[in-house]
Structure 1
Amino acid sequence: MTPHFYPLPPRKTLHLRHLEALNNRCTTLSTTLEEKLGRELAGYLGEASLPYYLEISSISTHYDLYGLRLNLNGNKFQMDGLYLFEGFFLITEVKNFKNKILLNEANQLIQLQEEGSEEVFDNPLTQVELQKEQLIQLLDKHGYPTIPIETLVVFTHKKVHLTFNHPDLITSQQLPARLKRITQKYPTKLLQRNELYHLGRKLISLHEERGSAFINPNDKIFPKIKRGVFCNRCKPMIMRRIYGSWECPKCKKRNSLAHLAALEDFYYLFGHTITNRQARWFLCMDSVYTPSRLLQSLGMKRSGITKNARYDLSSLFKR
């Protein structure tokens, strides 16, 4: 198998993890939030499925960057996948659509739903071609030579049915064969392996992760947030702190580290730092001192002293 590397592997965005934490902590989500969660999760699952199809391809060395988000003159653009080959680059736009997909005369995608309704989308090729032009400008701005850039839209859902034949609108199963044809189109090596590596590292240094708005007490959703340390068997049953551990009042299971999952939810919902007072509130603890001891035991960076100390959760949960 030929060498391939993932300097920026498929991963869940901060926004997706925020939505997942909301879903974990709220009894019900609004329709809008449920739809956002569904779209974000589908996008991640689609991206996460692509490395397999690259691994089974007999292709030359390449460096793979997933979810790369770059800034060009103040305008942010994000590519689902950017693959750096020795003779060309490839940008992929991932669509995790299912059911029948049509391409109409107006160059729009039509998704036919199971109940018979239709949903109309702009042609994703237009979007990925714009990303191509932006990447060309960014590489030129940083002094890199002109490299041919190909674009593909990849439909990753196993139950998708494309009703058209387009070389650049393909299913993930078609990706290995399509990549082989593109590779044959560019037989000349324009960059050496070490040059690909340095370019990949440069692009990663320019990557700007999309942030997520944290919840504050004035938000409408704030009162709906369920606090406490959940039992992973009886969720949303709240565990009790007993003799240095956590015990579920229902199944009696004990777990000394059950608070980590709760702190992770806090990290994505409320912010990357936490105080003793916030930990006591969110973990539903009566003791004034135990939350502080718990936080100190995790070896996090701390700023401030005594009751004003603030602990940085990033060392535990930043991905």
Structure 2
Amino acid sequence: MFILDLEKPHSLLQAEACDRRLARNHIKRPDLELKLRNLISGHQGEKTLHYFLSLFPKDKFQIYHGLRLPIGNSFFQIDGLLVTSKIIFVLESKNNAGILTIDKHQLTQQYNENSETYQNPVAQVTRHKILLKYFLDEYKFPAIPMEDLVVITRSSTELRITQGYTEGHKKVCKAEDLLKELHRFEKFNYKESFDKQAINRLRHLLLKKHTPLIVNISEELGIERSEILTGVSCPNCKTLKMDYYRKEWKCSECLLYSKDAFIEAINDYFLLIKPTITNAELREFLRLPSQRAATYILSILKLHSTGQNKGRVYHQPKLFPISVSHVFPNQSNTNKNKIGGP
């Protein structure tokens, strides 16, 4: 059973938004595109891990994806956490392409005649297991057996573990072999460590303490706010050339009409600018023709607001990104995305 399901990470949402709103000839675009590729690859690996975990019977594990927990003054993140009453599994997913060679000290990736060196993922997942033990000790949970595994999620990757590196051979597997590896531990006669009350208390604690990483990609890449392009992106031709007229948006480039194209722009604003917006800021970012148009957009977004009149501020919702179905529950009635008009 998925207790904390897989979601697209905030860092990837930000990178995608920045990709839509940074000029093609911007000096930082190569850095952005490299970061975006790496984030997409990592998320694809997590999706592959999610697929294989979804094959397990629902009552076999309580599964947590991307769990990020505080420890001291820092945090640690677990790609996959599988909890039972008898044992806990800590998983680390890797989606690197090419040839991966893992030895006692490092991971070496060879791809397209290039070679990159990374930290040993076995040491990484073992560290996360130890930190999780410290975390559970802090909240007075009984001791429970834990096992850690590194899961290589890209099926085409060639995996090489150096001879004599016993720990690597035991703790690294391909995603398609994960079920077999977990089944191997079922042969051990573990005693029950967590009763139902402890399992429920742990679930409540993990969800309460989970703290997703929030990044600022503009600051990281050195992109000024003034360099973030404004406007509503056309779902068809991807240009920022949609104009608002009578509660609809028309692309001046390909003539597409849409009622909901602006929602992506609202999400981009919250991701790249700040978590609050005013009527005037909305008009500027969406290039709206009037205060009245902005007031209508804000009314259908149903955002929580504080302040009054010109001092009213609207806040990013807790359920984010904003979805089309939230704004337009009856999407079939919106006549969205038609070239040439409704």
Q: How far has the Cα of 1:160 moved from its partner?
A: 0.6
Cross-structure match for 1:21: 17
Q: How far has the Cα of 1:315 moved from its partner?
A: 4.5
CA distance in 2, matches of 1:49, 1:35: 21
Supply the RMSD in Å over aligned alpha carbons: 2.1
Spell out the pairing of 1:1-319 with structure 2 (5 A cutoff). Answer: 5-28=1-24, 29-57=28-56, 61-104=60-103, 107-114=105-112, 116-164=113-161, 166-193=169-196, 195-213=198-216, 220-315=223-318, 317-318=320-321
Q: What code does the residue aligned with 1:138 have? A: F
Q: What code does the residue aligned with 1:177 have? A: K
Q: What code does the residue aligned with 1:280 have? A: R
After TM superposition, the runs of 4+ consecutive aligned structure 1 residues lying more than 6 A away are: none
* SS at structure 1 position matched to 2:291: coil
CA distance in 1, matches of 2:263, 2:56: 40
TM score, norm. by length of structure 2: 0.84
**Conserved 8 A contact 1:63-1:85:** yes
Q: What code does the residue aligned with 2:253 have? A: K
Q: How far has the Cα of 1:266 moved from its partner?
A: 0.7
Structure 2 spans left out of the alignment, 5+ residues: 162-167, 323-342
Q: What code does the residue aligned with 1:157 have? A: R
* SS at structure 1 position matched to 2:170: coil
**Conserved 8 A contact 1:10-1:44:** no
Which stretch shows the higher mean deviation, 305-314 or 55-64? 55-64
CA distance in 1, matches of 2:228, 2:189: 54
Identity of aligned residues (%): 27
TM score, norm. by length of structure 1: 0.90
Q: How far has the Cα of 1:111 moved from its partner?
A: 0.8
**Conserved 8 A contact 2:249-2:258:** yes
Which stretch shows the higher mean deviation, 268-277 or 29-38? 29-38
Q: How far has the Cα of 1:186 moved from its partner?
A: 4.5
**Conserved 8 A contact 1:155-1:170:** yes
**Conserved 8 A contact 2:11-2:214:** yes
**Conserved 8 A contact 1:107-1:122:** yes
Q: How far has the Cα of 1:195 moved from its partner?
A: 3.5
CA distance in 1, matches of 2:9, 2:313: 25
**Conserved 8 A contact 2:244-2:289:** no
Q: How far has the Cα of 1:155 moved from its partner?
A: 0.8
CA distance in 1, matches of 2:31, 2:64: 30
Q: How far has the Cα of 1:152 moved from its partner?
A: 0.5
Q: Summarize the Cα distance change of 1:215–1:310 in structure 2 as closer, same or farther, 3 Å threshold.
A: farther
Superposed CA offset, 1:128-161 (max 9, x none): 1111111111101101000111001111012211
**Conserved 8 A contact 1:61-1:193:** no
Structure 1 spans left out of the alignment, 5+ residues: none
Q: Summarize the Cα distance change of 1:212–1:44 in structure 2 as closer, same or farther, 3 Å threshold.
A: same
